[in-house]
Structure 1
Amino acid sequence: MGRSADYTIQGFLYQFNQTLSELLKAPDDAIITIEGIVEDIEVSSFSGVKAIQCKYHETQSKYTPSILYDPLLQMMKHFKSNPGEKIHYHLFAHFPNNPTIAISTKELNDALNSRNKDLKDLIAETVGVDIDGFLKVFTISVTAKYDDLMDENGRQLVALGFNKKEVETLFYPNAIQIIASLSIKHDASLRKITKKEFFESLRRIRSTAVSQWTLALKTRQKVLETRRKQLRENLSANARLRHLVIFPTFLDEFDAQIVIFIKSFIDKYHFKLAHTQTPLFALDVPQDALDGIAERLIGKDVVPNHGRPVKTFSEVHFFREPMVQKDRKEFVLRLIRWDEYRTLVLKTKADDLFVIGDGDVSTIDVKDVNLEILGAEKFEEIKYLLGINSAY
């Protein structure tokens, strides 16, 4: 990942941390909307609405007011369109060296008179705004750097009664993941949550979320180590039916690594006669790509059953048990496309369903199934989490 991508993710993480900070400070019944009416965070309580934007500029060498024209215009536009509403606008901004930032009539007029072509339409929609009235309901705060904000959120979680030893590797990364998951919902009503609901959900979680967001935290190593330990007990059992759904999107070097990964999994968890439950791999790939992967597996002496004795998929053929001759099985895994797997009515559900990569499995019936979401982007990290490798 390049440095520009790192800073982009850090910007999102700063917003998520600021959201967590607002949740920690809010009354229990306050309603927080992730990416609310003015883009980032919205807090609704009996006293009105607090509309928040977060701007994190870690790499900006020097502060100039023009950097903030876009969020200021967004807020003024909303203020103009909602006269009489009890809305307070708050801008959190971070710049290196913590400059003193003051927003007055001058800066707002300069924003309205900007010649920046990217702001042209926004300026046109904001012209005529009551600047003095807006300033009465607007505040700006120069905020702490990312690491300091994260540390403070951790301390606040402990103060709320969360186990200090588990905050760093369980509750804090899961809090960020809950916020990130809410932020991508298209329906604004689904991005709303109260402080009470949020922390009740957080207290119920007993496994550490592994995603691009939690792995971008400075606790990445500890997140991986903790999740590996959580998975170890079920993975150590010989007779568990394991299904693995793999989505190539965002997985590094999928084509180069998928056959190696499947073989490594079989070599670790399905090589003994005592391993009686044949693992199933469902890949989100076209049929020709699946056929190519099957051929490559056979070339590695890892024989799959892909349910196609000729061309047409046969559920009976797919779910039959392998013939065993002495110490050799006819096939060692079932291989299927994700599009076909999700339409199957399984007579026997998996004990464990591992979801690898970035994909939606909400259509799958996971009642009585141990669902494990592993949103890592590198196969080496996934193999580490699954106990296949001792390091990554």
Structure 2
Amino acid sequence: MSDRSAIHTIKGYFYQFDYTILQILNQQNLENRLTLEEIEDLDIEAADETTAVQCKYYEKTEYNHSVIAKPIRLMLKDFIERKRNNSKKVSYKVYGYYKSGQEKLILPINLDFLKSKFLTYEKNKIEHRYHEVLVATDDELVQFISILDVDINAYEYDHQLGLIREKLIEIFGCDSFEAENYYYNNALNEIKKLSVESNVSNRKVSKSEFLIKIDNKQIVFNKWFLKLKGRTEYFKKLRSQFFSSLNTEAFDRFFLIEVNIEKYSRADLIELILIISNKYSKVTRRMPEKFCPFIFISKIDEREILEVKKIMKSSGKRCIDGYEFQGDKFSTNLMLEPISSENPIYFKFLNNSEDLETMLEACSNIVHIYQFYLKEPFFHYNNSSIKHIKIELKEASDIKEII
């Protein structure tokens, strides 16, 4: 698959996720249940009524009846089975965006059109009539048409995203930046997690539950964004939002870095630590407020961490780790000792996740956590007053291009 084709495919997934997010946010009843990928891409339960929605985004494709024929056949099959088994009734919706060709579909759909354009098809040079395979009567087909909604004039990708942003601003009383970088990112991550649950009961969510889950300041950027935006644009976006020259206030910044053990290079890690330290440590006499970053490295054993600290010390970059001597207990007081030009500390090393959590609890200043992970976030810390930015990367060395 070419890079361009891959981007269109990924955009299609994002469009489905965004559609689901918008439907959740638009629910008037906070307790209506929505289910991802049970009957169709999204099932919306309101009171005694359920609507199964098939949602597609064809940015480069002209509309033809054959594009939506198979989904309609599968919906008819579900309808017939439910009717004959006296199962719960469901309404159906086909929702899609197409580059052109919308004028080919004349609504409302009648019985002859349903049969000829959607239920009759050719396979291996043999004509098939799907309604005959299902032994569906005309009355049943007419009933099916009455609960089938076909909308091929769906919102364009960016327009739908804009509607989500507006809705988030309205709900949370936030600005456009917060809507996109806090709440939308959290919403997208939550939908992705729900969609991969194997148990259908775990793929259900109400608006009230959803709003609680996305209402935090933990920002997640992942490889989907990298593929959609492109590597250069993705890194540029992260750099401008979180690591610009303006973002150097005297905060307590925690850099959490996962390294790939199979490709680990001590020299590369030391270079990365020096880059972080040079940008986010201010210890000179002319600086009124002096500060330096906290650094935690995941997947590195204690002996290797010790070697890295020895080299850093020999380079003239003094660091502390909260221990007076080997075998001592971790001390937050040591880690919080004042930095001065006479007592320069260029970074504070955290040896393990326990020390990291203890240190976070002890901080009274504004705290920002920047977690760089390879596949899944490796550290979780629930505190609504702390900005926790989680960024998925291919290699830890990518951090150099971001900050």
Q: Per the shorter chain, which TM-score range?
A: 0.5 to 0.7
Q: Structure 1: which 5+ residue stretches go unaligned?
A: 117-123, 384-392
Structure 2 length normalisation: TM-score? Answer: 0.65
Tell me if the contact between 1:243 and 1:282 (Cα under 8 Å) persists in the aligned partners. Answer: no
Q: Does 1:243 align with 2:277?
A: no
- Whole-angstrom CA distance in 2 between matches of 1:279 and 1:92: 49
Q: Supply the distance in 2 between the matched residues of 1:325 and 1:196 (Cα, whole angstroms).
A: 49
Q: Which of residues 313, 336, 360 is equivalent to 2:377? A: 360
Mapping 1:124-273, distance limit 5 Å: 128=134, 130=136, 132=141, 134-142=144-152, 143-155=154-166, 160=170, 166-167=175-176, 169-173=177-181, 174-175=183-184, 177-185=186-194, 186=197, 187-199=199-211, 205=216, 207=217, 209-212=219-222, 225=240, 232=247, 236-237=249-250, 240=252, 242-247=253-258, 258-270=269-281, 272=283
Q: Is the CA contact 1:77–1:129 (under 8 Å) kept in the aligned structure 2?
A: no
Superposed, 1:1-392 pairs within 5 Å as: 2-29=3-30, 31-33=32-34, 35-60=36-61, 62-68=62-68, 71-72=71-72, 74-83=74-83, 84-99=87-102, 100-101=104-105, 104-110=114-120, 114=123, 128=134, 130=136, 132=141, 134-142=144-152, 143-155=154-166, 160=170, 166-167=175-176, 169-173=177-181, 174-175=183-184, 177-185=186-194, 186=197, 187-199=199-211, 205=216, 207=217, 209-212=219-222, 225=240, 232=247, 236-237=249-250, 240=252, 242-247=253-258, 258-270=269-281, 272=283, 275=290, 279-284=294-299, 316=329, 332-334=347-349, 336=351, 340-341=352-353, 346=358, 349=361, 351=363, 352=367, 353-357=369-373, 358-361=375-378, 364-367=380-383, 370-375=386-391, 377=393, 378-379=398-399, 382-383=402-403
The residue number in structure 2 matching 1:121 is none
Q: What is the distance in 1 between the residues matched to 2:53 and 2:78?
A: 12
TM-aligned CA deviation for residue 96 of structure 1: 0.9
The aligned residue for residue 120 of structure 1 is none
- Unaligned ranges ≥5, structure 2: none
Instruction: Report the CA distance between 1:354 and its aligned residue.
Output: 2.8
Aligned equivalents of 1:373 and 1:284: distance in 2? Answer: 19
- Cα 1:58–1:333, aligned 2, differ >3 Å: closer, same or farther? same
Q: 1:270 to 1:54 in 2, by over 3 A?
A: same
- Note the alpha carbon deviations across 1:316-341, whole angstroms, 9 max, x for none: 489895999995769844264xxx52
Alpha-carbon distance in 2 for matches of 1:155, 1:108: 37
User: Quick check: 1:282–1:341 contact (8 Å CA) kept in 2?
Assistant: no
Structure number with larger C-alpha Rg: 2
The match for 1:390 is none
Question: Which residue identity does 1:106 align to in structure 2?
Answer: S
Please give the alpha-carbon distance, in whole angstroms, between the structure 2 residues aligned to 1:380 and 1:237: 21
Deviations 1:265-287 (A, max 9, x none): 21123352875777231224578
Q: Which amino acid counterpart does residue 90 of structure 1 have in structure 2?
A: K
The letter for the 1-side match of 2:376 is: G
Q: Does the Cα contact within 8 Å between 1:36 and 1:51 map onto a contact in 2?
A: no
Identity of matched residues, %: 17
More strand by share: 2
> Size of the alignment, in residue pairs?
354
Q: Deviations over 1:289-348 (max 9, x none)?
A: 86897788679665777899xxxx967489895999995769844264xxx526987377
Q: Distance in 2 between the 1:330 and 1:208 partners?
A: 28
